[in-house]
Homo-oligomer: A and B are copies of this chain.
Amino acid sequence: MTYQTVGHPARPGLPDDPRANVTEPTPSCPVEITLTALQGRWTTLVVREFLRGGRTFTELRQALPMLSDKVLSDRLAHLTEVGVLDRHRRPGRPPRVHYTLTPHGRRLGPVLQALWDWGAHPSPETS
């Protein structure tokens, strides 16, 4: 945690970092990086399944029956690409592929927690 401000009290979500002043949704902004990693329908639910332990393709399909194979495949590939998941081929019959969270991926726990907290808190404005 080195991004925190030193000159004045920390304002949540507003670290004293040059990237906190971007005026465009540039990919170098940490917030954009995270949202990109979690981007796409079903992605957070897939991550949630992994927070409960390693999973194979088939197990995920059973846990999320409404998710099509193609999209599941896309999500797993995406999450692997951004360093959230590790992919392990299992030799043998039938061939299965095992996915696990990387340490980096495991750190998404607090992120989902924060998203959950805000959404779980009732908004007086929303009808």
Contact = CB atoms under 8 A, between A and B. Distances in A.
Contacts of A38: 35
A69 interface: no
Contact of A42 (B25, B42, B119): B25
B120 A24 contact: no
10 contacts: A3-B116, A11-B109, A13-B51, A13-B109, A25-B41, A25-B45, A30-B116, A33-B118, A33-B119, A111-B117
Interface of A: 1, 3, 11-15, 17, 20, 22-25, 29-35, 37-38, 41-42, 44-45, 47-48, 51-52, 63-66, 81-83, 102, 104, 107-121, 123-126
